[in-house]
Structure 1
Amino acid sequence: MRIYTKSGDKGTTSLVYGQRIAKNDIRVEAYGTCDEANSMIGLALSYLKNSSFDNKEEINTFFHKIQTALFHVGAELSTPEGKEVKWKIKDEDIKELEQTIDTWDAKLDPLKNFILPGGHPAGAALHCARTVVRRAERCAVAIENVNPLVLAYLNRLSDLLFVSARYINSSLGEQEMSLHQGL
Structure 2
Amino acid sequence: MKIYTRTGDKGTTQIYVDKPLRVNKDDMVVTCYGDIDELNSTIGLLVTSVSTEYQSILQDIQRNLFQVGFAISASSTLTKEDVNALEDLIDSFTRKMPPNTAFVLPGGCVAAAQAHVCRAVCRRAERSVISLSKAHEVSDVVQAYLNRLSDFLFTFARYLNVEAGVVEVPV
Contact 2:47-2:55 at 8 Å conserved across structures: yes
SS at match of 2:13: strand
Q: 1: CA distance between counterparts of 2:93 and 2:44?
A: 20
- Percent identity of paired positions between Structure 1 and Structure 2: 43
Alignment match, 1:119:
108
State the aligned residue count.
166
Q: 2: CA distance between counterparts of 1:67 and 1:3?
A: 22
Cα deviation, residue 88, structure 1: 2.9
Question: Are 2:166 and 1:177 aligned?
Answer: no
Alignment match, 1:2:
2
What does 1:50-69 align with in structure 2 at a 5 Å threshold?
Answer: 56-69=51-64
Question: Paired residue for 2:28, among 26, 29, 54?
Answer: 26
Q: TM-score, normalised by structure 2?
A: 0.92
Q: 2: CA distance between counterparts of 1:27 and 1:151?
A: 14
Q: TM-score, normalised by structure 1?
A: 0.86
Question: Paired residue for 1:44, among 43, 46, 54?
Answer: 46
Runs (4+) of structure 1 exceeding 4 A deviation are none
Gaps in structure 2 of 5+ consecutive residues: none
Q: 2: CA distance between counterparts of 1:8 and 1:30?
A: 18
Question: Are 2:149 and 1:157 aligned?
Answer: yes
Equivalent AA in structure 2 for residue 142 of structure 1: S
Deviations for 1:4-45, whole angstroms, at most 9, x for unmatched residues?
A: 111111111111242111111111111210110111111112
Contact 1:43-1:122 at 8 Å conserved across structures: no
Gaps in structure 1 of 5+ consecutive residues: 49-55, 80-84
Equivalent AA in structure 1 for residue 10 of structure 2: K
Q: 2: CA distance between counterparts of 1:75 and 1:114?
A: 34
Contact 1:32-1:74 at 8 Å conserved across structures: no
